[in-house]
């Protein structure tokens, strides 16, 4: 190995170490920012080192691609609102998978033109990486469309799973033909079927399952990148792809467990696929902002439960201002986070961090649930399915068995909600009809602002 090759290999090793350390630091909100920076430095190092690989071609095209990608990412990263972050994550997942699929396509076409692949293992991994990457690409695009409100929640038709299975088998057969004898027709059919499979897999999945879907496609993207890294002989891609795939699969399992669902049930059914839930008796009882402010001002313990509605209303800053005023009055305030609240894993944590909420006030579901019976007031803003008590009380409900935040056990519950509609899973929420629940109707930010104003009034206008 030449001195230059040793330098490239050493750079890849350092980059992989930075990836690993960065991923480890991302596990905690306190160190997540620096973790992203460390991983970013590793990616820059790996990219620069690649230009020194002996015999590298198409450097001009690589520079153009890097410039375009960097420019688009910089603009989109600055312009995309925090409420649209799940959609951007879905698209970025898809782009990663698409890149892996493109690498596989280029290698397969190159080998076909040359009259054969250099090694059977490389050919098989190229096909598998292309299959997985193409599925992640088209599936992520559909997930983006659903999250962005451009597509109805679910599309189903009779015999859908059997049809999907037939498409999957067809893709495998086309992949086998490629591995047996490289040829343009088989390659084209293979990619068409792989892209179609990603679309067909995602169409029937309901919105409530989107956090799991995003995590799963992230894992698939990492796996595809690792396979194609082996094909290219690029150690950095192999290591980075393996870490992303492993982390994505672990996160997918955690998200599925938080919903008490298997990954298979997410892919082949949906929360909204059921529907034999019992009717909910009673009525929703409205309350005015002045009464809510007084209730919270003289409470000892207040827990705030944020959800996607808070993100849509951009109410996180007002909610934190409200919390600060309560804390100044001696009220113990905490934020309760369900693992799948929002549209992606960690969505609520990102919103609260943006507003400046200290990490020690943010509590996970398992830690906060035992505290609800001793909580004076729970303020729910934008959350719906993750606080629905039918998950524990109604075996006929499609979400029965899903772990929830037990806010119904608190002494008083106030729900800020724009209207009387259902949540993203399309299920009526029994919490809204409970005896200890009151509804503060209106836009999340406006309602939070009204509560702040009422608290100022209680404090003499200060």
Higher-confidence residue: 117 or 454?
454
Residues 152-165, mean pLDDT to the nearest whole number: 82
Domain that holds residue 309: 289-458
Instruction: Tell me if 88 sits within 8 A of 43, measured CB to CB.
Output: no
Give the pLDDT of residue 461. 57
pLDDT band for position 382 (cuts 50, 70, 90): confident
Burial grade of 348 (CB within 10 A; 0-12, 13-18, 19 or more): buried
Q: Which tens digit of pLDDT belongs to each residue from 166-187?
A: 999 999 999 888 877 777 888 9
Between CA 310 and CA 417 the distance in angstroms is: 9
Instruction: Tell me if 302 sits within 8 A of 325, measured CB to CB.
Output: no
Beta strand 377-381 with 332-337 is: unpaired
Between CA 96 and CA 226 the distance in angstroms is: 11
pLDDT band for position 279 (cuts 50, 70, 90): low
Q: What share of the chain has pLDDT > 90, as a percent?
A: 42
Same domain for 108 and 222, yes or no, is: yes
pLDDT reading at 148 higher than 90: no
330-382-391 Cα angle (round to 5): 100
Same domain for 235 and 374, yes or no, is: no
pLDDT band for position 208 (cuts 50, 70, 90): low
Give the pLDDT of residue 324. 94
Residues 323-327, mean pLDDT to the nearest whole number: 94
SS3 helix, strand, coil % of the chain, rounded to 5? Answer: 65, 5, 25
Between CA 44 and CA 48 the distance in angstroms is: 6
Q: Which residues are catalytically annotated?
A: 385
In this structure, what are the phi and psi dihedrals at residue 181, rounded to the nearest 5 degrees? -155, 105
Same domain for 163 and 230, yes or no, is: yes
Give the pLDDT of residue 406. 94
Please check whether residue 416 lies inside any domain of the structure. Answer: yes
Give the pLDDT of residue 272. 46
Please check whether residue 371 lies inside any domain of the structure. Answer: yes
Give the pLDDT of residue 304. 96
Between CA 176 and CA 374 the distance in angstroms is: 61
Residues 376-401, mean pLDDT to the nearest whole number: 87
pLDDT reading at 139 higher than 50: yes
Alpha helices in 360-443 (DSSP H): 365-368, 390-393
- Nearest CA-CA partner of 402 in 269, 271, 305, 251: 271
pLDDT reading at 273 higher than 60: no
Between CA 179 and CA 230 the distance in angstroms is: 16
**Read out DSSP for 22-71?**
HHHHTTSTTTHHHHHHHHHHHHHHHHHHHTTSTT---HHHHHHHHHHHHH
Give the pLDDT of residue 336. 94
CATH number of the domain bearing residue 357: 3.40.50.1220
> Of 242, 272, 302, which marks where a domain is finished?
272
Same domain for 229 and 304, yes or no, is: no
State the total domains in the chain: 2
Between CA 105 and CA 115 the distance in angstroms is: 15
Residues 454-460, mean pLDDT to the nearest whole number: 81
Instruction: Tell me if 308 sits within 8 A of 350, measured CB to CB.
Output: no
- Specify which of 86-100, 147-161, 206-220 reaches the highest per-range mean pLDDT: 86-100
Between CA 224 and CA 218 the distance in angstroms is: 10
Same domain for 364 and 390, yes or no, is: yes
Please check whether residue 124 lies inside any domain of the structure. Answer: yes
Same domain for 344 and 246, yes or no, is: no
pLDDT reading at 421 higher than 60: no
Between CA 285 and CA 460 the distance in angstroms is: 29
């Amino acid at each position: 190995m030449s001195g230059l090759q040793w330098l490239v290999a050493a750079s890849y090793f350092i980059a992989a170490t930075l990836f690993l350390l960065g991923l480890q630091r991302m596990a905690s909100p306190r160190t997540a920012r620096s973790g992203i920076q460390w991983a970013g430095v590793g990616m820059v190092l790996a990219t620069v080192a690649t230009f020194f690989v002996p015999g590298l071609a198409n450097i001009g095209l690589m520079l153009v691609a890097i410039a375009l990608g960097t420019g688009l990412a910089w603009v989109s990263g600055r312009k995309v609102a925090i409420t649209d972050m799940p959609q951007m994550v879905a698209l970025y997942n898809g782009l990663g998978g698409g890149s892996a699929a493109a690498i596989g396509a280029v290698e397969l076409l190159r080998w076909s033109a040359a009259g054969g692949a250099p090694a059977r293992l490389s050919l098989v991994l190229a096909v598998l990486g292309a299959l997985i990457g193409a599925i992640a690409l088209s599936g992520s695009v559909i997930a983006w469309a659903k999250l962005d409100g451009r597509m109805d929640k679910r599309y189903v038709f009779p015999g859908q799973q059997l049809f999907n299975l037939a498409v999957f088998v067809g893709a495998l057969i086309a992949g086998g033909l490629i591995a047996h004898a490289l040829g343009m027709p088989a390659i084209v059919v293979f990619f068409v079927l792989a892209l179609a499979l990603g679309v067909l897999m995602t169409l029937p999945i309901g919105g409530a399952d989107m956090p799991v879907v995003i995590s799963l496609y992230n894992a698939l993207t990492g796996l595809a990148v690792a396979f194609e890294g082996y094909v290219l002989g690029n150690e950095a891609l192999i290591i980075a792809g393996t870490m992303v795939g492993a982390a994505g699969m672990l996160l997918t399992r955690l998200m599925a467990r938080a919903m008490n669902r298997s990954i298979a049930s997410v892919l082949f059914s949906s929360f909204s696929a059921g529907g034999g839930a019992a009717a909910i008796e009673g009525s929703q009882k409205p309350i005015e902002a002045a009464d809510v402010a007084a209730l919270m001002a003289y409470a000892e313990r207040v827990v705030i439960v944020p959800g996607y509605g808070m993100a849509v209303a951009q109410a996180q800053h007002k909610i934190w201002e409200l919390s600060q005023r309560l804390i100044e009055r001696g009220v113990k305030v905490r934020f309760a986070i369900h693992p799948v609240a929002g549209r992606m894993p960690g969505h609520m944590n990102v919103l609260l961090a943006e507003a400046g909420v200290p990490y020690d006030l943010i509590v996970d579901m398992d830690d906060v649930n035992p505290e609800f019976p001793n909580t004076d007031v729970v303020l729910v803003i934008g959350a719906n399915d993750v606080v629905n008590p039918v998950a524990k009380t109604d075996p006929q409900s499609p979400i029965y068995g899903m772990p929830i935040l037990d806010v119904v056990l608190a002494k008083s519950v106030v729900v800020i909600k724009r209207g009387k509609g259902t949540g993203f899973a399309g299920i009526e929420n029994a919490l809204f009809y409970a005896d200890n629940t009151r509804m503060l109707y209106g836009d999340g930010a406006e309602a939070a602002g009204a509560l702040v104003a009422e608290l100022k009034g209680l404090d003499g206008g200060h």
